[in-house]
Amino acid sequence: MSANPRVVIVEDDDELRELLVRGLRSADLDARGLSAGADVIRRAASDPPDLVVLDIGLPDADGRDVCLALRAQGFRAPILFLTARDAVVDRVSGLDAGGDDYLVKPFALAELEARVRALLRRAAAAAPEPVTAGLALDPATHRTGLGGRWVELSATEFRVLSALATRPGYPVRRSALVAAGWPPGARVSDNSVEAFVARLRRKLATLPGAPSISAVRGVGYRLR
């Protein structure tokens, strides 16, 4: 991590984004602003920052889907959600999508700075994570692709696949797939999960060289 950690703020409100950028820069952080989820996905692939501050209500995609796509492409730096939604189920869904912290608007800039620094300290001490499965995921269109070819997914299929792609080669429990793919508190049967996984298998099979999904008895599924 650099002497001045790089922080990307993804917020579509121009005034708020510039305020946060100035505030974090005054705290000796190398802060940059972006306005769309697709922008941070591209940035993370080519020049990954040390931390992302991510608004959930983005114009091009749900911030939670953006988070899933970032995790699936191998981005392991902390992600701090900003949102006006303060219900417990909203906080839980953000964390289940791969977020590390959650700050509800309106908030004090000093609290954001403190949370950012705490996440950066934690990340500096963390062990490296395994590599990803190589799939590209587009949260704006809920597509997945490989080698320039793309297939369309439903929102639930996208989230289930993203949850699997964050830990390629490792078993992911059914409960974790349900938490990622369905609204908080939804009652989802094993048969429903199996049906979505079966559809994902068929769609992945249309992408030459794409990983496959296998069942892990008594646990869940694995992307391999």
List the domains of the chain with CATH numbers: 6-125 (3.40.50.2300), 136-223 (1.10.10.10)
170 CB neighbour count, 10 Å cutoff: 12
Question: Per-block average pLDDT, block size 10, for the chain (224 residues)?
Answer: 83 96 94 96 92 94 92 90 82 83 92 94 66 75 90 93 86 90 86 94 93 92 91
What are the CA-CA distances from residue 118 to residues 96, 109, 121, 218 (Å)? Answer: 20, 14, 5, 37
Computed on alpha carbons and rounded to an integer, the radius of gyration of the chain in Å comes to: 17
Q: What is the structure's pLDDT at 2?
A: 52
At residue 38, the pLDDT reads 94
In three-state secondary structure terms, 144 is: strand
d(CA 32, CA 109): 16
Residues β-bridged to residue 82: 55, 103
d(CA 218, CA 103): 36
pLDDT at 140: 85
Give the pLDDT confidence score for residue 148 in this predicted structure. 86
> Which uninterrupted H or E stretch holds 7?
strand 6-10
Euclidean distance between CA atoms 186 and 75, whole angstroms: 28
Residue 172 forms beta bridges with which residues? 221
So what's the pLDDT on residue 72? 84
CA 23 – CA 141 distance, rounded (Å):
33
115 and 101 Cβ atoms separated by less than 8 Å: yes
